Chains A and B, each alone.
Chain A
Amino acid sequence: MTVDKERLDRMIIAMRVARELPPGGYVNLGIGIPTLVSMFVADDSVVFYHSESGVLNCGPLAEDGNEDIDLINAGGQFLQPVPGMAYFSSVDAFAMIRGGHVDATVLGAHQVSATGDLANWMLPERGVGNIGGAMDLAAGADRVIVAMEHNDRQGNPKVVQECDFPLTGKGCVSLVVTDVAVLEPTPAGMVLREVAPGWTADEVQSVTGARLIIGDDVKEYEV
C-alpha cells in the first residue's frame, strides 16, 4: 500500500534530529542527512562535533580556494580551521567512540528493525560495502539516532520487523527520525512517537515493515 501524502524534506528531518542533541554534548554526524543536522543546532545549545578523521570541534566546511588536504572530516570534506579544534590519531578518535565518550551519533540507514538492529553498510546486491566507523559508532555511542527516508526509492519500507540486509549492530538504535515519523525501537517492538503533519498513525503503519506499537500519546512531528 502507498500513501499519497506529502513527506517532509531532508532539511525538516535534520531540524527534528537537531532537537535530540544534548547541549554541551559530543556528537558524531554520519554522511548524508546527518551532515545537515549541524545547520539546525540552536546557538544556545553548543554541541561539540567529533570526526573519525581525527578532529574534535569541527566547524563549517572550507570555502572554495581555501581547502587544506590535511584538514578533513570523515566524509573527506575539507574543513575550516576554527578555534578550539583538536587533532588526534585514529586510536584516540575511536577511543572516544568505543570508550563511551561520544554522547550521540546520527547515522543514515538502509534498514532499522523493530528492536533497534541497524543495517547501513552494505546493499546485498552490491556484494561489497564500506563499514568505516559505523559499527564502532553503533556499538559505542551513548545514543544512536537514525535519520533517513522512511521508504527506499522503490517504496520498500526501511523500518522493518527484522533486517534482512547485513547488520551494522544489534539493538543499538535509540531513535529513528524519518520523513513521515519519529519512532523508538524497544525490546518490545517499534513504538510510534510522532507522525508528520497530515499523516495518521495507520497511514504510517501502512508504509512500515515493522508492526508499530501505537499508544494514545502519538504526537505531531515537532520541529
Chain B
Amino acid sequence: MAAALSVGEITRRIVREARPGSVVAASGVWADRIRAALPGSLGVWALSDAGLMDGAPLSVADAAAIARGGYIDLAVIEAGQVDRNGSIAGAQSASGLSIPGNAVDLSSGAQRVVALLPNAGRDGVLNLAESLSLPADGVNCVDTVICDVGVINVAGGQFVLTETAPGWTAADLQAMAGVSLSVSPALRRIDLAAPSGDAVSKVYSDGVGAVADLPDGATVFIDGFGGPGGMAHYLLVALRDLGSRGLTIVSNTAGIARVVSFGTPPGRTAIDHSVLIENGQVAKAIASFPVSPSVSRPSEFELAYRRGEVELELVPQGTLAERLRAGGAGVLAFYTPTGAGTLISEGKESRTIDGREYILEYGLRADYAIIRAHRADERGNLVYRGTSRNFNAVMAPAARITVAEVDEIVAAGELNPEEIVTPGVFVQRIVKRPDGFSGYE
C-alpha cells in the first residue's frame, strides 16, 4: 500500500481550509505547525491553546474568550474518534486518560471544526464510529475529518469521502473504517497546494464608510466613560450623517458631556451621544449613568426620556462591565450580589447562595461597537491612552463588528505585543480620526 501523508503534508492540507483573514485555532502541536505553513498574505490569525496568537501573548482568559465568544472561524482538533453525528472524542494518552485541553472550548465555540486523525493510514485504522465509545469533547460539531489518507465530510449523519491520498482508493479507506462511507461523486485526489488570496484590509479611509452598513434597529456599543476621553467623536458624527434609526445604545452614560463641561472650550459643544438623540436615532439606552448629575441641566437623553421618546434600561456600572465581558466571552449569564434588594432586581431571577442574595444578569452582545483607541496596527491590535481604555477594551470583544477610531495606524509589528490591550481578533474595522478633528462642534 502507498505511504500515508506525512505530518507536513497533512498540515498543508489543513491550511487549505483557512480563508483569508480568518481565525484558526488548533490543539496541541498542530497550532505551531499550521502557523508555520500559513502564507502570510492570507492574514490568518493562528491561535494556540498556550495563549499565543500569531506569537503574541494572551492571558488564558482572553484565549478562552476568543474561543467561547465565537471568534474562531476554524478549529483543528486532533481526535481519538469521530461519529456520524459529528461528535468528537479527544486523542487519548498512552494511559488511556482523555486530555481535553482546549478541545471542549474549541469544539463548542468555533464556526467550523476539522477533526484530525493523523495516524489512520499508518495504524491501518480509521477511527470513525456510529456513535462514540470514548468520552465526548464536543457534540455534533465536526464538519470535516482530515486524516493521513483522505478527507471525509460529516454531514446529515453520513461520512462522505471527498478526497484520497495518492495511492489510496475509496475501498482502501472503507476497509479501515468501522462504519460505511459514502463516496462523493466528485471524489478527487487530495490537493496540497498552498491556498491563495489576500486578507481584506481592516483599514477604512473615512468614518461613514466604516459604519455604512449599520442598519436601523441595530444595537450599538458606544464608549466614553463620561467626558471627552475615550469617545469616538468622529464615528459618532459619521453615524449621525448615516442616519440609522431605532438604535439601542449601550454605554456608561447616555450623553452627559454636553451638559457637564469636562473642559469644553467656551462657545463650543461637546460631541457625545446627544448628537444621535437629538437626530431622533435612538430608541433605547442601556446605561449606568444615563442623566446629568445636575437636575437643572438635563441632557438631550433626559429630555427625550421625559417626552417618552426613548426607553431606558438602568444597569449598575460593574454589572454593565461584566455583562459586556460575559457577552464577549460567550458566557450567557452570571449571578451577582450587586443590586440585590433594589429596583434593579425587580423581575430578575434570584437565588441565595451561602446566605447571600444574588441576582441573575445576562451577557450583552451588540451588532456594532464604535470605540476609541490611541494606536492600531493594520491587523487591528489596539493600544489605549490612560483611563480611556475603560469601557472601550470591554466592548470590543462583545460586538459582531467593532469599529475603532484611532489617532494613528501603524504597520503590523510596530506595536509591542506585550503592550497590546485589545488583540485585533476583536476588531473588524479601523479608521483614523482625521488630523485636527476635535471632540467639539
A interface with B by C-beta (< 8 Å): 31, 51-55, 67-72, 76, 78, 87-91, 93-94, 97-98, 117, 123, 126, 128-136, 138-140, 166-170
Known A76-B227, A128-B302, A132-B289: A91·B325 in contact at CB below 8 Å: yes
Which of A90, A135, A139 lies in contact with B391, CB distance below 8 A? A90
Docked complex Cα distance between A134 and B289 (Å): 10
The reply on B83 being an interface residue by CB < 8 A is no
Asked if B291 and A70 sit within 8 Å, CB to CB, the answer is: no
Asked if B288 and A131 sit within 8 Å, CB to CB, the answer is: yes
Docked complex Cα distance between A87 and B390 (Å): 8
Which of A53, A126, A135 lies in contact with B316, CB distance below 8 A? A135
Known A69-B228, A72-B229, A133-B318: A55·B387 in contact at CB below 8 Å: yes
- Give residues of chain B (381-429) contacting chain A, Cβ–Cβ below 8 Å: 384-394, 421
Asked if A93 and B321 sit within 8 Å, CB to CB, the answer is: yes
Asked if B302 and A132 sit within 8 Å, CB to CB, the answer is: no
| CB closest chain-A residue, reference B263 | A67
| CB closest chain-A residue, reference B390 | A54
Asked if A72 and B325 sit within 8 Å, CB to CB, the answer is: no
By a CB distance below 8 angstroms, the chain A residues around B315 are 131
Known A91-B321, A97-B318, A169-B342: A72·B226 in contact at CB below 8 Å: yes
Interface centre among A128, A131, A136, A169 (most CB of B within 10 A): A131
Known A89-B390, A89-B421: A136·B338 in contact at CB below 8 Å: yes
- Give residues of chain B (280-323) contacting chain A, Cβ–Cβ below 8 Å: 288-291, 293, 295, 302, 305, 312, 314-322
Docked complex Cα distance between A109 and B302 (Å): 22
Asked if B263 and A69 sit within 8 Å, CB to CB, the answer is: yes
Known A90-B390, A90-B394, A135-B316: A128·B263 in contact at CB below 8 Å: no
Asked if B390 and A140 sit within 8 Å, CB to CB, the answer is: no
Instruction: Please give the distance in Å from A7's CB to the nearest CB on chain B.
Output: 24
By a CB distance below 8 angstroms, the chain B residues around A98 are 318, 322, 336, 338
Asked if A88 and B342 sit within 8 Å, CB to CB, the answer is: no
Instruction: Please give the distance in Å from A134's CB to the nearest CB on chain B.
Output: 8
Asked if A70 and B317 sit within 8 Å, CB to CB, the answer is: no
- Number of A-B residue pairs, CB cutoff 8 Å, is 155
Q: List 7 A-B contacts (CB under 8 A).
A: A69-B263, A89-B390, A90-B252, A93-B318, A117-B341, A139-B338, A140-B318
Docked complex Cα distance between A127 and B428 (Å): 39
Docked complex Cα distance between A71 and B387 (Å): 5
Docked complex Cα distance between A78 and B260 (Å): 13
Asked if B291 and A128 sit within 8 Å, CB to CB, the answer is: yes
Known A130-B291, A135-B316, A136-B338: A70·B386 in contact at CB below 8 Å: yes
The reply on B343 being an interface residue by CB < 8 A is yes
By a CB distance below 8 angstroms, the chain A residues around B289 are 130-132
Interface centre among B252, B288, B324, B387 (most CB of A within 10 A): B387
Known A52-B317, A71-B229: A166·B342 in contact at CB below 8 Å: yes
Instruction: Please give the distance in Å from B311's CB to the nearest CB on chain A.
Output: 12
Docked complex Cα distance between A72 and B302 (Å): 24
Docked complex Cα distance between A132 and B338 (Å): 12
Which of A52, A88, A117 lies in contact with B389, CB distance below 8 A? A88
Docked complex Cα distance between A72 and B390 (Å): 11
Asked if A70 and B316 sit within 8 Å, CB to CB, the answer is: no
The reply on B20 being an interface residue by CB < 8 A is no
Asked if B338 and A87 sit within 8 Å, CB to CB, the answer is: no
By a CB distance below 8 angstroms, the chain A residues around B392 are 89
New contact pairs (19) apart from A70-B374, A89-B421, A135-B318, CB-CB < 8 Å: A51-B387, A53-B387, A70-B387, A76-B225, A87-B387, A88-B389, A90-B317, A90-B320, A90-B391, A91-B321, A91-B322, A91-B324, A91-B325, A93-B318, A130-B289, A132-B316, A135-B316, A136-B338, A167-B341
Instruction: Please give the distance in Å from A126's CB to the nearest CB on chain B.
Output: 6
Instruction: Please give the distance in Å from B256's CB to the nearest CB on chain A.
Output: 8
| CB closest chain-A residue, reference B316 | A135
Instruction: Please give the distance in Å from A48's CB to the nearest CB on chain B.
Output: 16
Known A128-B290, A170-B340: A70·B322 in contact at CB below 8 Å: no
Docked complex Cα distance between A203 and B291 (Å): 38
By a CB distance below 8 angstroms, the chain B residues around A69 are 227-229, 262-263, 388, 439
| CB closest chain-B residue, reference A67 | B263
Which of A76, A128, A139 lies in contact with B339, CB distance below 8 A? A139
Asked if B226 and A76 sit within 8 Å, CB to CB, the answer is: yes
Docked complex Cα distance between A117 and B343 (Å): 13
Asked if A53 and B317 sit within 8 Å, CB to CB, the answer is: no
By a CB distance below 8 angstroms, the chain A residues around B288 are 130-133
Asked if A93 and B342 sit within 8 Å, CB to CB, the answer is: no
Q: Which 9 A-B pairs have the closest CB atoms?
A: A94-B318, A136-B318, A70-B386, A170-B341, A54-B390, A135-B316, A90-B321, A69-B229, A70-B385
By a CB distance below 8 angstroms, the chain A residues around B230 are 70
| CB closest chain-A residue, reference B338 | A139
Asked if B318 and A72 sit within 8 Å, CB to CB, the answer is: no
By a CB distance below 8 angstroms, the chain A residues around B339 are 135, 139
| CB closest chain-B residue, reference A125 | B295
Asked if A136 and B317 sit within 8 Å, CB to CB, the answer is: yes
CB 8 Å contact bits of B324-361 with A (1 = contact, 0 = none): 11000000000011111111100000000000000000
Docked complex Cα distance between A216 and B290 (Å): 46
Asked if B393 and A135 sit within 8 Å, CB to CB, the answer is: no
Docked complex Cα distance between A133 and B338 (Å): 10
Interface centre among A51, A72, A78, A123 (most CB of B within 10 A): A72
Docked complex Cα distance between A47 and B439 (Å): 35
Instruction: Please give the distance in Å from A60's CB to the nearest CB on chain B.
Output: 15
Which of A71, A123, A132 lies in contact with B317, CB distance below 8 A? A132
| CB closest chain-A residue, reference B315 | A131
Asked if B263 and A94 sit within 8 Å, CB to CB, the answer is: no
Docked complex Cα distance between A53 and B385 (Å): 12
